[in-house]
């Protein structure tokens, strides 16, 4: 499937049930990259605007570059109260933004979908001299609790192509080659979601590899998910735990 179309039918669940990003990210970028509220940010693969909103709340002008129409329209609806939000039809490899027009590029849960070398060339083109790139993931922990271990087993059992598209394939070597010849830095924050049964279903179905209604694995998957929830819930909630990982540097 075209990566830019994988989430077309999952927009509502994505917007409602994907985790936000810790505001400490802004503190890190202020200290390490000179982020200030006057800078123009390009959020590449901005989706429904979860990361975009973090920078809008900081006062930044944000260019949300998103190829998927349904995701883009959701962001336009959800972020309409922010006059500094600009919704852009484009891709990481062809943003349509002007040359040397942005101070910082960010990408949340998106870099693993990019064609890396064309994207890098495009990033160099649109960044102002001395600009920064920050690649960010909410990395779901898979072994920190019995619930998360069971959830990971469910994905391997029922998903369509989880192993092929999991962002964990992006390792240090991939990041290093993207920023080369410059060095990059990295940092991590703790993040958590507490979800009830409805939220757990929505969180699962926000993933592009979860079989949808009509697929032979859909109903068995939800039955198993309910069993997992019933076994591990506390006060009708289960906890998704994340390492929010940020890799940042300049592209030389």
pLDDT reported for residue 161: 75
CA-nearest of 60, 48, 58 to 85 is 60
pLDDT reported for residue 4: 58
pLDDT, tens digit, 9 for 90 and up, residues 85-139: 999 999 999 999 999 999 999 999 999 889 999 999 999 999 999 999 999 999 9
What mean pLDDT comes out for the span 45-54? 96
What mean pLDDT comes out for the span 18-29? 96
> Could you give all domains of the chain from N- to C-terminal order, each with its CATH number?
3-139+165-192+242-249 (3.40.50.150)
| Band of pLDDT at residue 219, cut at 50, 70 and 90 | very high
CA atoms lying within 13 Å on the CB side of residue 239: 12
- For the chain, give the mean pLDDT: 92
CB 45 within 8 A of CB 107: yes
Measured distance CA(47)–CA(12) in Å, rounded: 11
Measured distance CA(152)–CA(166) in Å, rounded: 12
C-alpha separations of 7 from 1, 66, 74 in Å:
10, 12, 12
pLDDT, tens digit, 9 for 90 and up, residues 156-214: 999 877 766 555 567 889 999 999 999 999 999 999 999 999 999 999 998 888 888 88
CB 102 within 8 A of CB 124: no
pTM of structure: 0.89
CA atoms lying within 13 Å on the CB side of residue 217: 12
């Amino acid at each position: 499937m075209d990566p830019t179309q994988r989430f077309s039918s999952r927009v509502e669940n994505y917007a409602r049930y994907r985790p936000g990003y810790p505001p400490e990210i802004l503190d890190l970028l202020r200290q390490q990259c000179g982020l200030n509220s006057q800078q123009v940010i390009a959020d590449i693969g901005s989706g429904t605007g979860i990361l975009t909103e973090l920078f809008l709340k900081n006062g930044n002008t944000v260019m949300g570059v998103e190829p998927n129409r349904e995701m883009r329209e959701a962001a336009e609806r959800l972020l309409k109260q922010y006059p500094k939000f600009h919704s852009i039809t484009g891709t990481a490899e062809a943003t349509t933004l002007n040359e040397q027009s942005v101070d910082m590029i960010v990408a949340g849960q998106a870099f693993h979908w990019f064609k890396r070398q064309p994207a890098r060339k495009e990033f160099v083109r649109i960044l102002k001299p001395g600009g920064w790139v920050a690649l960010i993931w909410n990395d779901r922990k898979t072994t920190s609790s019995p619930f998360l271990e069971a959830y990971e087993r469910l994905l391997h059992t029922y998903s369509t192509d989880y192993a092929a598209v999991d962002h964990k394939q992006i390792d240090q070597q991939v990041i290093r080659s993207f920023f080369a010849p410059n060095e990059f830095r990295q940092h991590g924050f703790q993040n958590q979601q507490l979800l009830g049964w409805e939220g757990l279903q929505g969180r699962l179905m926000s993933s592009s590899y979860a079989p949808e209604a009509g697929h032979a694995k859909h109903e068995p998957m939800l039955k198993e998910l309910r069993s997992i929830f019933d076994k591990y819930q506390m006060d009708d909630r289960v906890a998704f735990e994340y390492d929010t990982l940020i890799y940042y540097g300049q592209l030389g």
